[in-house]
Structure 1
């Protein structure tokens, strides 16, 4: 279940509000002493986070649980998306153990989807939250973050602390797997979003190095909407690793609609639009392109269909 972007925080006692942690979604499956972790794309990533499987995390020992959560790396109390992106794709146990010692993760658990072999997704959030709090999941590596009644006040507090924003959830809502729902809404303090990578350009001085990637947004009707290119943040090993992945996705023709000016398409190496990237930016031009974008990392927990937007209707009101 995904949150719908919103310009303002919904008010009223029909909602609760949580900190938006700027991490990556995980499903945590607990069966006795066994813990398995999965991304939203159903890829198992247990090996990448050994600290969560240890006894200090306090996750194991339950007969059967399926938890929805967000994994973050905290530096001085603030999430570091760059440090997390480095960890998420690790497949080697030794490397994962070394990174766990350098930048341990925290699992922020916010929902219970199954307990004691019984699905709970049909229950209203109010009951699922009571079940979650009864589990008392609090340890060095695992937290059940609090919820708040005043979303506007929480948004202001997160802005003061340099945290991404707020997720607001309707207390009466069931859990809708795989859907972007108006029952969950996210309001952010700073401009950062996810886009699909549709092509790349080499550096002007060195054809063997990645210079920039082209970004797009999928639309409900199917065509991709060009959002500009980003080169900032792609120097060094980050750019080289991304270039290798992009070369494996090469296609002969542009996945973007025809009609883009030649200065946009000249020299571009086109790729299948499969990789989802997080980008920070200052704003959007009148033409819909990102202003001064900066690369943050790939999103292993999102797919391209997840980026199709459902806008909050102006006529929606909450009692």
Structure 2
């Protein structure tokens, strides 16, 4: 008997690298989905452990095409256009509850299940088996269907693969240790994700000092129409010479917190400034709290 739900394994962020111990596959911009097949019926579970079977009627007959029962696959649901996932089109599928509309959308915007792991076979767990074994079993069981595809991968050459994938317009790359087990609900070093760094032009809205009075970090925000959206603090990229020059300028701009600054998580000890000094910041991604993850000050516009 299969478990009622399984928390999906999660990945950590990483810079691209090469390794003979890792495989590399496209990071699909879709909905994470665990695909249960038990007693000839399917059940689709998303990352939040919700049952989303009703949304995707194109998958309902897949158990008839698979020889074994008691299966759990892991993968992502995507809507493809010209061979690439279109998250906007997937969202159209995800926010519909009417059975009639669901059926119409399944025909107009059919989904594809990109499979990348196999967790159970015949009701028995494979979680402790190495990924290379789970992948091999998965390949043997995948049905021939326009709605299912294996998430193809390459070995060793992660850096070149990442550059190619990003150039083609995909979201990034997943790197997975081929000897690793499946660890439900955990964010571990066995799975790593490579994502291209974004760049944004920002304004400095405040700064923090070290106990010795030197510049510790900048607080930055993005201009959005008539508002400033707080993106967090930036310390990386501030060398000693630049920090000294910046501090002199920042002291002359000291003011109250900008009235149009939106956001949360403003650090204690912030010295606010008029938002006049512009900079360019690179970052890994924007968090759920609206702040840059792993930001680096790339350029400061001092003129």
User: Is the structural similarity TM-score above 0.5?
Assistant: yes
Matches within 5 A, 1:162-173: 162-173=169-180
- For 2:102 and 2:220, locate their aligned partners in 1 and report how far apart those are by CA, in whole Å: 36
Which residue matches 1:262?
A: 259
Cα deviations across residues 21-62 of structure 1 (Å, max 9, x unaligned)? Answer: 11110011101321111111111111111101135x866553
Aligned residues: 220
Instruction: Tell me if structure 1 keeps the 8 A contact 2:131–2:177.
Output: yes
Which residue matches 1:20?
A: 27
- For 2:106 and 2:154, locate their aligned partners in 1 and report how far apart those are by CA, in whole Å: 31
Q: Whose strand fraction is larger, Structure 1's or Structure 2's?
A: 2
**Which residue, 4, 27, 32 being the options, matches 2:12?**
4
Q: Secondary structure, in 3 states, of the residue corresponding to 2:78?
A: strand
TM-fit CA distance, 1:82: 0.4
Which residue matches 1:112?
A: 118
Which residue matches 1:159?
A: 166
TM-fit CA distance, 1:156: 2.5
Q: Secondary structure, in 3 states, of the residue corresponding to 2:29?
A: coil
Instruction: Tell me if structure 1 keeps the 8 A contact 2:195–2:284.
Output: no
- For 1:27 and 1:75, locate their aligned partners in 2 and report how far apart those are by CA, in whole Å: 23
Matches within 5 A, 1:227-238: none
Gap runs ≥5 in structure 1 = 193-224, 232-258, 269-283, 294-302, 311-319
Instruction: Tell me if structure 2 keeps the 8 A contact 1:63–1:116.
Output: yes
Which residue matches 2:145?
A: 139
Which residue matches 1:199?
A: none
Higher relative contact order (CA 8 A, sep 6+): 1
CA RMSD of aligned residues (A): 3.5
Instruction: Tell me if structure 1 keeps the 8 A contact 2:27–2:170.
Output: yes
Cα deviations across residues 105-164 of structure 1 (Å, max 9, x unaligned)? Answer: 110011111111111111111111111112133420001122201222322221232112
Matched, 1:121 2:109: no
- For 1:118 and 1:141, locate their aligned partners in 2 and report how far apart those are by CA, in whole Å: 25
Distance 1:101 1:230, change over 3 A: farther
Q: TM-score, normalised by structure 2?
A: 0.63
Instruction: Tell me if structure 1 keeps the 8 A contact 2:66–2:142.
Output: no
- For 1:62 and 1:91, locate their aligned partners in 2 and report how far apart those are by CA, in whole Å: 31
Which residue matches 1:73?
A: 79
- For 2:132 and 2:151, locate their aligned partners in 1 and report how far apart those are by CA, in whole Å: 15
Gap runs ≥5 in structure 2 = 1-8, 200-218, 226-255, 264-278, 295-303
Matches within 5 A, 1:1-319: 1-8=9-16, 10-55=17-62, 62-149=68-155, 150-189=157-196, 191=198, 261-265=258-262
- For 2:93 and 2:83, locate their aligned partners in 1 and report how far apart those are by CA, in whole Å: 18
Distance 1:229 1:101, change over 3 A: farther
Distance 1:103 1:191, change over 3 A: farther
Kindly name which structure, 1 or 2, has the bigger radius of gyration based on alpha carbons.
Answer: 2
